[in-house]
Amino acid sequence: MSSVATLHHADVHGSHDAHHEHHHHETFITKYVFSQDHKMIAKQFLVTGIIWAIIGGLFSVVFRFQLGYPESTFPWMEDIFGHWAAGGKLKPEFYYALVTMHGTILVFFVLTAGLSGTFANFLIPLQVGARDMASPMLNMLSYWFFFLASVIMFASLFIQTGPASGGWTIYPPLSALGDASSGAKLGMDFWLVSMAMFIVSSLLGGLNYITTILNMRTKGMSMTRLPLTVWALFFTAVLGVLSFPVLLSGAILLLFDRNLGTSFYLSDIVVAGKILPNEGGSAILFQHLFWFLGHPEVYIILLPAMGMSSEIISVNSRKPIFGYMAMVGSIFAIAILAFLVWAHHMFVTGLNPFLGSVFVLLTLLIAVPSAIKVFNWLTTLWRANIRFTPAMLFAIGFVSLFISGGLTGIFLGNSALDLHLHDTYFVVAHFHIVMGVASFFGMFAGVYHWFPKMFGRYLNNTLAYIHFWVTIVGAYLIFWPMHYQGLSGMPRRYYDFSGWTSFNMFSGLNEFISFVALIVFCVQLLFVFNFFYSMFKGRKVTDSNPWGSNTLEWTTPINPGHGNWPGEIPEVYRGAYDYAKDGKEFIPQNTPVGDDESTHH
Partner 1 sequence: MSTVAMEQRKKIHPHKFTLWVGIGSLLMMFAGLTSAYIVKRNQANWQSFDLPQFFWYSTLAIIASSVTIYLAEKAFKQREMKKYRSLVTATLVLGVLFIVFQLLGFQQLWAKQITLTGNVSYSFMYVIVGLHAAHVVGGLIALIVLFAKAFSTKTRIYNSVPVELVSTYWHFVDVLWIYLLIFLIMIK
Q: Is 211 in the site for partner 1 (CB under 8 A)?
A: yes
CB atoms near residue 170 (< 10 Å):
23
Q: Is 73 in the site for partner 1 (CB under 8 A)?
A: no
CA–centroid distance for 557 within its chain: 29
Are 395 and 313 spatial neighbours (Cβ–Cβ below 8 Å)? yes
Residue 359 beta carbon to partner 1: minimum distance, rounded to whole angstroms: 16
Q: What is the C-alpha to C-alpha distance for residues 149 and 581, in angstroms, rounded to an integer?
A: 48
Find the binder of partner 1 among 186, 285, 374, 528 (CB under 8 A). Answer: 285
Q: Is 343 in the site for partner 1 (CB under 8 A)?
A: no
Q: What is the C-alpha to C-alpha distance for residues 585 and 412, in angstroms, rounded to an integer?
A: 44
Query: x/- contact string, 117-156, with partner 1 (CB under 8 A)?
Result: -----------------xx--x------------------
Are 370 and 406 spatial neighbours (Cβ–Cβ below 8 Å)? yes
Find the binder of partner 1 among 292, 342, 426, 441 (CB under 8 A). Answer: 292
Q: Is 275 in the site for partner 1 (CB under 8 A)?
A: no
Find the binder of partner 1 among 214, 223, 348, 371 (CB under 8 A). Answer: 214
Q: Is 8 in the site for partner 1 (CB under 8 A)?
A: yes
Amino acid at 139: N
Residue 293 beta carbon to partner 1: minimum distance, rounded to whole angstroms: 9
Residue 218 beta carbon to partner 1: minimum distance, rounded to whole angstroms: 7
Residues 6+ apart with CB under 8 A from 265: 172, 173, 176, 253, 254, 257, 281, 282, 283, 285, 286
13-52: contacts with partner 1 (CB under 8 A): 13-14, 17
CB atoms near residue 29 (< 10 Å):
9
Residue number, 214 or 271, with CB nearest to partner 1 = 214
Find the binder of partner 1 among 48, 156, 165, 208 (CB under 8 A). Answer: 208
Residue 221 beta carbon to partner 1: minimum distance, rounded to whole angstroms: 10
CA–centroid distance for 547 within its chain: 25
Residues 6+ apart with CB under 8 A from 96: 165, 166, 167, 181, 183, 493, 495
Number of residues that bind partner 1 (CB under 8 A): 54
Residue 273 beta carbon to partner 1: minimum distance, rounded to whole angstroms: 22
Q: Is 197 in the site for partner 1 (CB under 8 A)?
A: no
Residue number, 162 or 240, with CB nearest to partner 1 = 240
Are 39 and 122 spatial neighbours (Cβ–Cβ below 8 Å)? yes
Cα–Cα distance list, 190 to 159, 268, 296, 520 (Å): 9, 27, 24, 31
Q: Is 569 in the site for partner 1 (CB under 8 A)?
A: yes
Tell me the CA end-to-end span of the chain in Å, nearest whole number: 42
Find the binder of partner 1 among 82, 92, 261, 594 (CB under 8 A). Answer: 261
Q: What is the C-alpha to C-alpha distance for residues 93 and 177, in angstroms, rounded to an integer?
A: 16
Residue 304 beta carbon to partner 1: minimum distance, rounded to whole angstroms: 19
Range list of β-strands (E), 238-380: 270-271, 274-275
Footprint of partner 1 on this chain (CB under 8 A)? 1, 4-6, 8-14, 17, 134-135, 138, 203, 206-208, 210-212, 214-216, 218-219, 241-246, 248-250, 252-253, 256, 260-264, 279-282, 285, 288-289, 292, 568-569
